[in-house]
């Protein structure tokens, strides 16, 4: 396995936190100073493979890092996201969550506009309520 998160000695030198379930470290391509990644210690590719304990550990580490980053880099807000699957932009086959500390005056997208953020430029008219209800019904029927 050639996973940069599992095998890169540089990452091991910059680990902020690591235990049996999760780890966090600064990304080498930060959007803003303090941009960190959280990932399970175990090599898995997507959220479906997380155990309940790993999921809870990730949640708890997000909360700790938000508190720490608020102090360390004067963060006023956060973008928290992950890409899952190649078609969604996942370039490393190890699940990782981006924690991007934000403050007024940052460059890049700080006003969240989903079509810009998710690479879907242009406007789209609001969907009719009947279409939204049909989609909701279809998804509800397919919940396991």
- CATH number of the domain where residue 55 is located: 3.30.428.10
* For residue 109, pLDDT beyond 70: no
Percent of the chain with pLDDT over 90: 43
* For residue 120, pLDDT beyond 50: no
Please report the pLDDT score of residue 18 as a whole number. 93
Q: What is the CA radius of gyration of the chain?
A: 18
Q: Find the domain containing 22 and state its range.
A: 4-110
Which among 54, 61, 67, 66 is positioned nearest to 94, based on CA atoms? 54
Give me the chain's average pLDDT, please: 84
Q: Quick check: is 74 in a domain? A: yes
Q: Quick check: is 137 in a domain? A: no
* For residue 127, pLDDT beyond 70: no
Please report the pLDDT score of residue 111 as a whole number. 53
Please report the pLDDT score of residue 78 as a whole number. 93
Q: Quick check: is 94 in a domain? A: yes
Q: Quick check: is 61 in a domain? A: yes
Which among 107, 112, 102, 38 is positioned nearest to 73, based on CA atoms? 102
The domain tally of the chain equals 1
Quick one: pLDDT band at residue 91, thresholds 50, 70, 90?
confident
Q: Quick check: is 131 in a domain? A: no
pLDDT digits (tens, 9 = 90+) for 29-79: 888 888 899 999 999 999 999 999 999 999 999 999 999 999 998 999 998
* For residue 126, pLDDT beyond 70: no
Can you tell me the mean pLDDT for 115-122?
50
Q: Quick check: is 139 in a domain? A: no
Q: Quick check: is 142 in a domain? A: no
Q: Quick check: is 78 in a domain? A: yes
CA–centroid distance for 97 within its chain: 3
Please report the pLDDT score of residue 51 as a whole number. 97
Catalytic residue set: 96
């Amino acid at each position: 396995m050639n996973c940069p998160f599992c095998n890169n000695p540089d990452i091991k030198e910059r680990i902020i936190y690591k235990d049996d379930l999760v780890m966090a470290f600064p990304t080498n391509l930060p959007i803003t100073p303090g941009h960190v990644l959280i990932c399970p210690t175990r090599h898995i590719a997507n959220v479906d493979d997380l155990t309940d304990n790993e999921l809870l550990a990730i949640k708890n580490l997000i909360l700790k890092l938000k508190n720490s980053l608020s102090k360390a880099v004067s963060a006023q807000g956060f973008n928290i996201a992950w890409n899952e699957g190649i078609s969604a932009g996942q370039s490393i086959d190890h699940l990782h969550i981006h924690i991007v500390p934000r403050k007024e005056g940052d460059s890049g997208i700080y006003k969240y506009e989903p079509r810009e953020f998710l690479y879907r430029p242009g406007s789209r008219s609001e969907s009719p309520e009947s279409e939204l209800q049909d989609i909701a019904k279809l998804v509800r029927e397919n919940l396991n």
